[in-house]
Amino acid sequence: MKKCPVCTESLPETAHFCPKCGYVYPKAESVFAAEEKKRIKKKTILLSLLVLAVLSLAGGGIFAVYSLRREMQAYEEEQEQARQEWMDRMFRTGEELPFNEEIACDFRDSLVDYETLCGQMDLGAETQEAYEDEGYIVHVYDLVKIYTTDYGEVVNIEIDYSNADEGQKKSYGVFGYNADTQKEQVREALGSPDQNYGEEEYYYRFDGRQDAPALYITWDENDRIAKIQYYRILQSRYGMVEQTLVGPDDIQMM
C-alpha cells in the first residue's frame, strides 16, 4: 500500500492516481494517459449502446402511442357515427310533420329572437302588458304566452286552449297540432313519448342537443290537446330545469 502525497489516502502500489483528490503520479502519467484513453473509449461505447437502446425503446413507445391514438380516433369516430344514427332513430326533426291549413299561426321553428318572431307572424297587439316570471319576460297574445330572455331570445311558447273560443283553438298551434288534435294522431306521428306523466301529459324531445326544442302536451278528458308548450331544453320554465340528454340510457320510454 502507498499513500497519496497530497491527501494521504491509502492507495494500492499499482495506483496511477488518487481517486480522492485526483493527484496523478508523475512517473505513471504515460500509463495513466493510455488507460484513461481506454476508459473514455469504453465509456463512449457503453454510452452509445445505451443511447441506441433508449432510442429503440422510445421508438417502440412512439409507435405504441401513435397506434393508440389511431385506435382512439377510430373509436371516437365510430361512437359519433353510432350516436348520430341513434339520434336519427330516436328523435324527430319536425320536417316531416305537415302543416295544418286551419292553423293561421303555427309556431314551429319559432324559437328565435322575439323581433324575428313578430316579423314572421301577424300576432296583432299584445292583449296584456308584458310581465316578468321566473326571470323571463312574458308577452301575452290571447291564449298564447311567449317567454323571452332579457336579450329577446324566445325560449318558451305556451298555448293554453282551456278558455279559448273555437276560432282561437283552430288558429294557434305547433307542428300542425291544435286543440282539435287527438292523442292518437300525435302518437302516430311522433311515436311513444320520451317521457310521460300518466296519460295526461306527454313530453317529446326533437334531438339530443343542449338547447334543442321540445314539446310538452297536456291532454283533456277527451284526449285532445288542452295545452301545448314548445320550448328549449335546459331553459328554466316555471321553476323547472330540463336535464341534458347524454345517451340512450337517459331516455325513459313507455
Tens of pLDDT along 34-63? 555 665 566 566 556 565 555 555 555 565
184 within domain boundaries:
yes
- What would the DSSP string read from start to end of the chain? -EE-TTT--EE-TT-SB-TTT--B-GGGHHHHHHHHHHHHHHHHHHHHHHHHHHHHHHHHHHHHHHHHHHHHHHHHHHHHHHHHHHHHHH---STTSPPPTT-SEE-TT--SBHHHHHHHS---S-SEEEEEETTEEEEEETTEEEEE-TT-BEEEEEEE-TT--HHHHHHEEBTTB-TT-BHHHHHHHH-S-SEEETTTEEEEES-SSTT-EEEEEEE-TTSBEEEEEEEETT--BTTB-PPPP-SGGG----
Judgement on whether residues 152 and 231 belong to the same structural domain of the protein: yes
Predicted pLDDT of residue 161? 96
Model pTM score: 0.59
pLDDT given at position 65: 54
Report strand pairing: 105-106 vs 172-173.
Answer: parallel
Whether 136 and 196 share a structural domain? yes
For the chain, what is the domain count?
A: 2
Q: In what order do the strands lie in the sheet with 144-148?
A: 128-133, 136-141, 144-148, 154-160, 225-232, 213-219, 201-205, 195-197
- CA 67 to chain CA centroid, Å, is 26
Question: Which pLDDT does position 14 carry in this prediction?
Answer: 65
Q: Among 95, 232, 104, 113, which residue's Cα sits nearest to residue 173?
A: 104
Q: Is residue 210 part of a domain?
A: yes
Q: In this structure, are strands 154-160 and 172-173 parallel, antiparallel, or unpaired?
A: unpaired
Residues 239 and 138 reside in one and the same domain:
yes
User: CA geometry: angle at 147 spanning 146 and 152, to 5°?
Assistant: 105
Residue 131 covered by a domain: yes
pLDDT < 50 regions, the chain:
28-32, 235-254
- Mark whether 146 and 58 lie in a shared domain: no
Look up residue 133 and give its amino acid. D
Q: Which residues pair with 213 in a beta bridge?
A: 232
Does residue 13 fall inside a structural domain?
Answer: no
The answer to the question of residue 96 being in a domain is no
**Set of cell numbers at residue 93:** 326533426
In a domain, 14, yes or no: no
Domain that holds residue 183: 105-250
Domain membership of residue 11 (yes or no) is no
226 and 157, same domain (yes or no):
yes
- Examine the domain organization and report whether 135 and 237 are in the same domain: yes
Q: Is residue 166 part of a domain?
A: yes
In a shared domain, residues 128 and 239:
yes
pLDDT value of position 134: 85
Residue 190, pLDDT score: 87
